Chains A and B, each alone.
Chain A
Amino acid sequence: MKKPSWLLPCLLGLSAVARADYAASWIDPDTGHRVVQLSREAGTESLYFTQNAYTKDGKLIVSTPHGLATIDVNTGVIDPIPEPQTPAAAPAPDAAQATGYARFRNRARLIQTGRLTGSIFYQKGNAIYATDPVTKATKQVASLPTDKGGMASVATVNADETLVAGSITIGEERGGGARRAPGAEPGAANYMGGDNRPDKGAMMERRLAARLPEIIFTVNTRTGEYRELFRTTDWTNHFQFSPSDANLLMFAHEGPWQKVDRIWLIRTDAPDAQPMLVHQRTMKMEIDGHEFWGASGEWLWYDLQTPISEVFWVAGYNVKSGQRIWYHLERDQWSVHFNVSPDGKLFSGDGGSAEKNVAHAKDGKWLYLFHPRLVDDKATRANGKDLVQIGTFDYERLVNLKQHDYVLEPNATFTPDLKWLVFRSNMNGNVQVYAVELAKATTASQLAEPDPRDRRPGDPLR
């Protein structure tokens, strides 16, 4: 196994000189949208779709086999973020021998970029660090408790970067975060992605049934105050602070979705605040999950199926007004993860495969752009405010993913400038990060003339 190193090979720096020099760039013949390959090193991944991945100047954070890097989506410039040398870093054992907990603890795990400063937050050992993406300066912002009977794991940073939140699982050897199957490492030559392992379902059943005690906590990055929000034996996960309300935290009860009431909100500034269930299921085999915040923090959205594999929605809950909107989708447009544009006007979906995903869509391997449309509401006194507002999605295909293996989940995110949808894919034989232009390349010249940017994957670099 390669020694973990945060220094990217300097050949990655080659692209930093030319403007709009991508590893590859082409117009998808099936959609008419331009696709660019942003990363150059196989095994580079964009983040999970809920992790804020953009710096203040709109650069994208990606995870390479050797550490983090920023990519300017509009120019293709890749800039490695060196691993900070921190006093708190545990003395590295022989990395080749390190497995499980030891390796996990010694590895920096990215949390997200901060919404206020754009700093890159990550956890290493029992400390939380923030790195300035421009100056590369790193500071420790929080220490996590070590005396609670389990490893503290932070998953989210709040809107003004004053709080981090996460959980401690008592009696579990490892903390949360990225779990990789043996051999499924981004650096491995045959790595095609590690999201959908064959044993994932059984693992989730076991973990749910274990009912391990957990502590849900926050740590204040200014005062260092550690605060327990509550303790539970439900399996909690997917902590996401509101992007605008510094004291509103969303989290999930993890497990097979048909067995849990998944999505919860809790205030972190009210003593004795109780979690509030966001979606009450009414059907057997109704499921909801893959929740995410809208950029303004007013709405949260989630994948809703009433029931599983049968009726598909992107459901929204307005945390201010309590209003609900459900957008109805056809089977082929169901996606593993949906997302919403920074202005709240567009949605995206990363598709799904017939074999690996719950919708079993025959023609679902596409990256989608969705234009929401509310159903004509012939409003009357009987159509009260407390009723769910319904809409549908007009869909537009962005990228043909027929060559993509959904062992890797594309996890699309909109760029802050609303020009691109970023995703990860193994469609060209290894894992790389791509972006697709939202605007269609429709002009005759764009389609007829060879674009100087056009270079299919595998073509020699210039």
Chain B
Amino acid sequence: MKKSILLLPACAGLLLSSGLRAQPAPAAPALPREWVDPDTGHRIVQLSQDAHSESLYFTQYSFTAGGTKMVFTQRGGNIDLVTLATGAIEHVYQEGGARVLQTGRKTGAIFYTKGRYLYALDPVTKVSKQLVRIPDEGNIAAINCDETLATGTIVPGEASRPPINAVRAQPKVLASGVEEGDIPSQVDKHAMMDRRLAAMLPTTLFVINLQTGAITELGHWNDWTNHQQFSPVDPTLLMFAHEGRQWKVNRIWLIRADGHSAPMLVHQRTMRMEIAVHEYWANDGSRIYYDLQTPLSEDFWIGSYNVLDGSRTWYHLPPDHWSVHYNTSPDGTLFSGDGSDPVIHYAQAKDAKWMFLFRPQEIPNQADETADQQHMIQVDKLVPERLVNLSRHDYSLEPNGFFSPDGKWLIFRSNFRGPIGVYAVEVAKAAAAP
């Protein structure tokens, strides 16, 4: 009865009849591009057409053209755009080797690095503009909201700088028949992280002016630093992480990107093995959200810190709903989770291979609003709903869910149909009859 409004109003007809039904594959029947998950009752649409297409990491802003189009990447470092309302694909960059950072929140330009340079790609004209040279022994990780600054680190002696969005080589198909993702072995990754943390390499966090190329150093330390994310609304407010196994680090920090401010720790851990990780900004820049475990694998929250007034709200997750990445809808009312694998992940959540939707439910405060109470953490419960059955998904690829700008769809990447592809699931339940 409810028809998809903003996204894909006519998608079913377009994709099903003109695309696949007209030319059925002789060997195997083609999979539908749109279907309703029988286990959840939510409509799923496959957005990518080519195999080995990936949506971005869950913190990377991916929308352009006023939120009507979304960036995703192709094998070899090429860039596609999908028009959310029609499913139309544009190959906007096919020269290869691009590492996409994000789209600009102001102009919608697609920012990527290639070689030693940062570029901005105009999604309309498909023209790339070279902006600045990346400092020697440095990288660039994020662009601020008015697209005047980029941020990165300079780490002399660091052999390789794995980017947050790798350029994928040839796909590897696992025994299960699905294409393997980036994280083939937790053991290898963990050993690498321990080595890198222990190396204590001298690090400079910097911003670079995209007009002048002038570099401002924000700080020097020996902590392993990455996951820089500018505020979506405040051009000089920068979040970054001290990387490493999460119980070994105080991870989430804020700094004013002016060259003479000190970093502020966002979450002070109070327990051994307490971890705070996978932080991200609220769409309106008012809050930072993060995966909080008190302690690891035992008690699960989405923590949040209000950067404007210092208040904190923690959202408690029911057991067996821990997800690798959470996200929050643009209006701040809904949360998503991309599930987890009981074997791969520490949480060992049973039956958590699902895309989840979470609705916060306030725990009413029955105490008097004394001065003490104003400094206390507000706690809400999260009430879960399943959106997509990911039982066939291999978590070597992290689904990385994020909401569409209209809040009606949750976009994710998955190998649950074999090759890695980009999908969207409707937040509202599908009508009973197809």
Enumerate chain B residues within 8 angstroms of A282, measured Cβ to Cβ.
376-377
Nearest CB on A from B129, distance (A): 43
Enumerate chain B residues within 8 angstroms of A311, measured Cβ to Cβ.
294, 299, 316
Question: Given contacts A283-B377, A284-B376, are A389 and B368 in contact (CB under 8 A)?
Answer: no
Enumerate chain B residues within 8 angstroms of A375, measured Cβ to Cβ.
272-273, 295-296, 298
Whole-angstrom distance between the alpha carbons of A389 and B295 in the complex? 9
Decide if B186 is an interface residue (CB 8 Å cutoff): no
Q: Is the CB of A387 within 8 A of B373?
A: no
Chain-B contact segment, one of A9-17, A101-109, A378-386: A378-386
Decide if A225 is an interface residue (CB 8 Å cutoff): no
Whole-angstrom distance between the alpha carbons of A47 and B365 in the complex? 33
Enumerate chain B residues within 8 angstroms of A389, measured Cβ to Cβ.
271-272
Contact of B363 among A308, A376, A383 (CB under 8 A): A308
Q: Is the CB of A285 within 8 A of B247?
A: no
Decide if B278 is an interface residue (CB 8 Å cutoff): no
Chain B interface residue number, banded: 20 to 34
Tell me the dominant secondary structure on chain B's binding face.
loop
Residue in A328, A382, A387, A390 whose Cβ sees the most chain B Cβ within 10 Å: A382
Tell me the dominant secondary structure on chain A's binding face.
loop
Contact of A382 among B249, B294, B368, B379 (CB under 8 A): B249
Q: Is the CB of B365 within 8 A of A284?
A: yes
Enumerate chain B residues within 8 angstroms of A392, measured Cβ to Cβ.
298
Closest to A258 in B: B367
Q: Would you list which residues of chain B between 212 and 245 have a CB under 8 Å from chain A?
A: 245
Decide if A136 is an interface residue (CB 8 Å cutoff): no
Contact of A387 among B269, B314, B367 (CB under 8 A): B269
Enumerate chain B residues within 8 angstroms of A378, measured Cβ to Cβ.
245, 247-248, 273
Q: Is the CB of A383 within 8 A of B247?
A: yes
Nearest CB on A from B247, distance (A): 6
Question: Given contacts A256-B366, A311-B299, A380-B248, are A286 and B376 in contact (CB under 8 A)?
Answer: yes
Decide if B348 is an interface residue (CB 8 Å cutoff): no
Chain B 297-336, CB-CB to A under 8 Å as 1, else 0, gives 0110000000000000010100000000000000000000
Q: Is the CB of A390 within 8 A of B248?
A: no
Q: Is the CB of A383 within 8 A of B381?
A: no
Q: Would you list which residues of chain A between 341 and 383 have a CB under 8 Å from chain B?
A: 375-383
Whole-angstrom distance between the alpha carbons of A113 and B384 in the complex? 51
Given contacts A285-B363, A310-B379, 11 further A-B contacts (CB under 8 A): A256-B366, A284-B376, A285-B365, A286-B379, A310-B363, A310-B381, A326-B271, A378-B245, A380-B248, A388-B270, A390-B272
By Cβ-Cβ distance, the 8 closest A-B pairs, closest first, are A283-B377, A388-B271, A258-B367, A380-B248, A390-B295, A307-B379, A387-B272, A284-B365
* 21 chain-A/chain-B pairs, Cβ below 8 angstroms: A258-B365, A259-B367, A283-B379, A284-B378, A285-B367, A286-B379, A307-B363, A308-B363, A375-B272, A375-B296, A375-B298, A380-B248, A381-B248, A382-B247, A383-B248, A387-B272, A388-B270, A390-B274, A390-B295, A390-B298, A392-B298
